[in-house]
Amino acid sequence: MTEKALPAESAKTQTYIVFVVAGTSYAVPSHQVQHMEMVERVTPVPNAPRSVEGVVFSRGQVVPVINLRARFGFERTTINQRARLLVIQHGNRTVGLLTDEAREFITIADGSIQPPGDAIGNLSGSYLDGVATLGQRIVLILNIREVVESTPVAAA
C-alpha cells in the first residue's frame, strides 16, 4: 500500500489596502484601517510638526492628519479629489494618513513579501515591513507602528 502525499499547506495570505504617495505604491494590512474617506478639509494646527497636516472631523471625532508626503520627505501637493484619508487606530491613538490616492484592496501571499533589505531600510528608516513583488509591480509594505509612534501628534 502506498501513502498519498498530503496536499501542500496553502500559502498564508493577508488583505491589504494599497495607496499611492509620490508615485510609489504602499500597502497596509486592511485590519489596521478603521475606515477610508475622501478629504474635504483639513484644519491647520499652529506650531504643528511639518508632517502633521492638521486635524479633521471624522465620524464624530477630531483626528490628527499625518501627511505621508511630508513624513517621507517628499514635496507637499494640493489636496485633490483623488486624495484619501486612511483612519487608523494604533494603541490609544487614532490618526489619519493623508495619501495621494487609495482605491485598491488586494490579497498578498506572505511568500511574496521580502524584508526591505539594508539598502532600502537605511534610506526609509524603519517605516517599511517589507517589499512585495506582484508580477512587475513593487509595493512597499508600511509599518504603521513606526509611522505613528515616530510622528509627534497628540493622542486622540
pLDDT tens string 64-121:
999 999 998 899 999 999 999 999 988 888 999 999 999 899 999 988 888 887 656 5
Domain span at residue 41?
Answer: 14-149
pLDDT level of residue 31 (50, 70, 90 thresholds): very high
> Is residue 9 in a domain?
no
The segment with the largest mean pLDDT, out of 32-36, 113-117, 142-146, is 32-36
> Is residue 2 in a domain?
no
What would the 3-class secondary structure string for 104-132 be?
Answer: EEEEEEHHHEECCHHHHHHHHCCCEEEEE
* 112-113-114 Cα angle (round to 5): 120
* Percent of the residues in the chain that have a pLDDT greater than 90, as a whole number: 56
Domain holding 72: CATH number? 2.40.50.180
> Is residue 154 in a domain?
no
> Is residue 6 in a domain?
no
> Is residue 27 in a domain?
yes
Amino acid 4: pLDDT: 43
Total domains in the fold of the chain: 1
Mean pLDDT is lowest, of 26-40, 52-66, 90-104, 116-130, for 116-130
Amino acid 8: pLDDT: 44
Q: Which residues contact 119 (CB under 8 A, 6 or more apart)?
A: none
Determine the longest span between alpha carbons in the chain, in angstroms.
78
Q: Identify whether the C-beta of residue 67 lies closer than 8 Å to the C-beta of residue 84.
A: no
